[in-house]
Structure 1
Amino acid sequence: MPDIAQAIAPRQETDDERALRRRSLTLGLLTLTYFFSYMDRQILAILLEDIKADLLLSDTQLGLLTGFAFALFYATLGIPVARLADRMNRRNIIAAALTIWSAMTALCGLAQNFTHLLLARIGVGIGEAGSSPPSHSIIADLYPPEKRAGAMAIYSLGVTLGAGLGIIIGGTISAYYGWRWAMVSIGIPGIVLAIFVRLFVVEPRRGLSDANQLAAQAGDMPSLREGFASMWQMPAARHLVLGVTLTSLIGYALTGWGPTYYQRSFGLSVAQIAMVIAPILMVIGIISGVGGGKVADWVARRWGTWAQSAMVAVFKLIAFPFAVGIYLVDDPTTGIILYGISILFASSYLGPTFALIQGLAPVKLRALWAAITLLVINLIGLGIGPTLIGVLSDLLQPRFGEESLRYALLIVAMATPWAIFHYWRAGVLLKRRDEAPAS
């Protein structure tokens, strides 16, 4: 009798089945978390001129606030957080981190001088260190290699949405109520989101979506030194990290100072940038991110994963002349059109890059590899990029006056071919690896 009852009873859903059934919800919440992360990080872009006038700051100080002061703690703390994420519950780490950085963003609105704002921005960086490495690891466990670039591309929409809506929301609130209320209004909703992340994000089994998942579970956890060594010893991984780092340096520099450039050189108001330009550019960025992920998945099925790196190189090469042209024109409409075209092709790199890195990483080191990548990206890209623009602008100011920012941005944009080379080289190495006979 018990055997009959057991046979007709509904089968219990396994943890693995539950994780896969809810992976779209998990991806959506992780993307929303990344959106808040990037919005809280980049909101200063639209507020720089107001903050400069209120607190009497230099461009170099503004560059430090948007760049190095934030990036130093954000990047370096990512490594210990990743080690925790490779051992502990990743969902809980993300929820706690989201709470911290959202509260610190709100506190930025209370700053009375450069030091206050600097400390609050450091707090934002400390909190955000706990978001991306565990998120990358969860996504890689929920999606198999042939679907991973598309999933990472959706997650990477947090960059486009965060930057775009940060400007739209922050600029609109600032135009009516001032920059301080903009910071508070952006920060508080993230605390509410942290509750939803804790309740609904799935914590999957490590290696769930990989063919070698059973082998991945065996053995001891590699050391931190072994994690760094494993990444450094793989040439394709090195070139991918160099490519995404240079791309990020240029991207953080140009987007972090973009609204200020529109105000100084094109004469646009904060409201015009927030309500007209930012929505258009955000939509283009979404199309680029999602479309780039779809194209990356397609080229991987057609030619192999190496083609994803080649795709990024080609798209960035197409975008380059348009990105440079933004700083060679005086008409705002022409400048925005050029910027839109450059974003359409250049913003598709994140999903394929992180998918390739997660595909190359040993399963037990996925969060650590993500953290190492983010360490380099943010120390060099986010840390140096915006800060470099501020320093260059101040240095060029005696010669070019109000146009010094234009030429500082142009100098940094001209470094794009360097990033293209590393993506091309990574593609060559990945192709060789795929074509090598199995030993």
Structure 2
Amino acid sequence: MKVEATGTIRPASVSRRSALRPNWTLALLSILYILSLVDRMILALLIAPVKAELGISDVQIGLLVGTAFAIIYGLLGIPLARLADSGNRRRIILAGLVIWSASTVGSAFATSYTMLVLLRLGLAIGEAALLPATYSMIGDLFPPQKRAPAASIFAALGAAGAGGAFILGAIIIDSVDMLRSMAAIPAAIADWRIVLILVGAPGLLLAVVLCLTVSEPPRGGHGAEARSEASLVTLVTHAKQHARMYAGLMSCAFTGTVSYAFVTWLPEMLRRDFGWSAAQAGSTLGWILVVSVLFGSLAGPRAAERLMRAGHHDGFILVSAAMVLLGMLTAILAAMQSSASALLTIYFFTSMFLSGCSNTCITSIQIVSPARMRGTVVATYMLLISMAGLGIGPPLTAWLSTNFFYGSIGPALALVAIAVGAPTLATQIWSRKGYKVRITAIAERNGEG
């Protein structure tokens, strides 16, 4: 038995259940995050059969995988973040889960490119609901001293989620072959359609689990500070005052153009140029992404913090710029390799540097942005990375490959890296002065000299 501060006796089993409930909710939401990325990225492993059956081009695939998803996902991010701050987050997540899972399953029955695009839009609508509501819920599930670790666990899983998506996708593709050998699947149904059903169905099952095991936590249930929002005028004024600094930070989002171009087209490049199967490409790339993204996401901010402690007030932007330079150079080098092993070895460092740049930027936003504006600034960054990454990277690579390189993907990826890397690096170097001014002002206000 446990005696409360009020003198009430509460069974120890109830106390343990109360302690476990936030951890279970965090675990389930993390699983949903990974599942959402599987549903989002699985088409990158199915490009060849989808193209063949629906008679579509590489450019149409790029628009399907990237732009169609990115526009809806990006535009809905900020409105859904606002809704999560006032509405029932459990219901928002549940609705999003059902919509994106049903859209994935529905894609298996698409008979035209237009139908596949519309279902892809449904996927984006559903997935756009997950992150804002989850981060808001974490703030009320855990006491102040446990919020940062909880959010970090969720973010780390998300950072490596694209790799996990490829690994799980490869497993599912292999399972289709096994089911075929057991005559458990009708021969008339194409493999890629079976894969989409197997990928989307677990989300519908987890929706039931979410309903039965997760409750909406009370807002401010752990004595959290009162929440307040900055007015639009205040936000605009602050952004104008520090436009030079924010230009450098927001330019990091354009590294996503290269990241998503590689993630989308590298499996197909391995198939076309080196004869790899979809499952082989997915599994190998998955493990490369998991390790490289986790390492880069941790190493970038840590290096920047060390520079800051050493007195370099522009430490974060210096690390970010260095990672942009190294990421783009390795991307160009990787794309031009004539062997799969060399390509993948160099791409490991590309992925590490580009993910390090992005996470360094997000960490920096927490330092330089006023508390009441951080959510909006982060949401703006995520909007940009969605638009510039998914919206531009995959279709631009396909267009360049088709129109200038006779269908060769490698040179197109290299050209995308050059086109994006040069202006991004220049913007970050230019923004150093604005960043130093802001950090110096914060340090003086806090009495740090």
User: Aligning the two structures, in what range does the TM-score lie when normalised by the shorter sequence?
Assistant: 0.7 to 0.9
Q: Equivalent residue for 2:383?
A: 375
Gaps of 5+ in 1: none
1:330-376 alpha-carbon deviations (Å, 9 max, x no partner):
11111111112322333234444334435555555555444322222
1:73-117 alpha-carbon deviations (Å, 9 max, x no partner):
111122221221122233332222122111101111111111111
Gaps of 5+ in 2: 181-189
Q: What TM-score, normalized to structure 2?
A: 0.79
Letter in 1 for 2:191: G
Alpha-carbon separation, structure 1, partners of 2:176 and 2:335: 26
Q: 1:386 aligns with which of 356, 380, 394?
A: 394
Letter in 2 for 1:182: V
The range that moved more, 191-200 or 143-152, is 143-152
Sort the Cα spacing of 1:299 and 1:180 in 2 relative to 1 into closer, same or farther, 3 A: farther
Sort the Cα spacing of 1:248 and 1:174 in 2 relative to 1 into closer, same or farther, 3 A: farther
Q: Equivalent residue for 1:74?
A: 73
Q: Is the 8 A contact 1:97 1:129 kept in 2?
A: yes
Q: Equivalent residue for 1:185?
A: 198
Residue 249 (structure 1) shift:
1.5
1:286-322 alpha-carbon deviations (Å, 9 max, x no partner):
5426644883696499569964554443344334332
Residue 185 (structure 1) shift:
0.9
Identity of aligned residues (%): 30
Letter in 2 for 1:180: R
Q: Equivalent residue for 1:281?
A: 288
Q: Equivalent residue for 1:347?
A: 355
- Where 1:217 maps in the other structure, the secondary structure is coil
Residue 225 (structure 1) shift:
6.5
Instruction: Within 5 Å, give how 1:125-274 maps onto structure 2.
Output: 125-139=124-138, 150-151=152-153, 153-157=155-159, 159-165=161-167, 167-169=169-171, 171-173=173-175, 178-197=191-210, 199-200=213-214, 203=217, 205=219, 214=225, 216-217=226-227, 221-222=229-230, 230-231=238-239, 233-235=241-243, 236-243=245-252, 245-274=253-282
Alpha-carbon separation, structure 1, partners of 2:17 and 2:235: 30
Residue 140 (structure 1) shift:
6.1
Q: Equivalent residue for 2:185?
A: none
Q: What TM-score, normalized to structure 1?
A: 0.80
Alpha-carbon separation, structure 1, partners of 2:136 and 2:402: 41
Q: Is the 8 A contact 2:26 2:150 kept in 1?
A: no
Residue 33 (structure 1) shift:
2.2
Alpha-carbon separation, structure 2, partners of 1:206 and 1:337: 47
Letter in 1 for 2:56: L
Q: Is the 8 A contact 1:139 1:152 kept in 2?
A: no
1:197-226 alpha-carbon deviations (Å, 9 max, x no partner):
4533774746979xxx64x436xx555666
Alpha-carbon separation, structure 1, partners of 2:437 and 2:17: 37
Q: 1:336 aligns with which of 326, 332, 344?
A: 344
Q: Equivalent residue for 2:421?
A: 416
The range that moved more, 138-147 or 332-341, is 138-147
1:25-69 alpha-carbon deviations (Å, 9 max, x no partner):
444333322212222111111111111111110111111101111
Instruction: Within 5 Å, give how 1:350-369 maps onto structure 2.
Output: 350-358=358-366, 367-369=375-377
- Where 1:67 maps in the other structure, the secondary structure is helix
Letter in 1 for 2:131: S
Alpha-carbon separation, structure 2, partners of 1:345 and 1:202: 38
Q: Is the 8 A contact 1:37 1:128 kept in 2?
A: yes
Residue 118 (structure 1) shift:
0.9
Alpha-carbon separation, structure 2, partners of 1:79 and 1:352: 22
| Structure 1 vs Structure 2 CA RMSD | 3.9
Q: Is the 8 A contact 1:153 1:352 kept in 2?
A: no
Alpha-carbon separation, structure 1, partners of 2:205 and 2:368: 35
Instruction: Within 5 Å, give how 1:29-108 maps onto structure 2.
Output: 29-108=28-107
Alpha-carbon separation, structure 2, partners of 1:321 and 1:349: 14
Alpha-carbon separation, structure 2, partners of 1:299 and 1:24: 32
Alpha-carbon separation, structure 2, partners of 1:207 and 1:155: 26
Alpha-carbon separation, structure 1, partners of 2:380 and 2:220: 19
Q: Equivalent residue for 1:112?
A: 111
The number of residues matched between the two structures is 421
Higher relative contact order (CA 8 A, sep 6+): 1
The range that moved more, 66-75 or 277-286, is 277-286
Q: Is the 8 A contact 2:368 2:439 kept in 1?
A: no
1:135-165 alpha-carbon deviations (Å, 9 max, x no partner):
3444567566976884464243353344433
The range that moved more, 222-231 or 255-264, is 222-231
Alpha-carbon separation, structure 2, partners of 1:281 and 1:438: 41
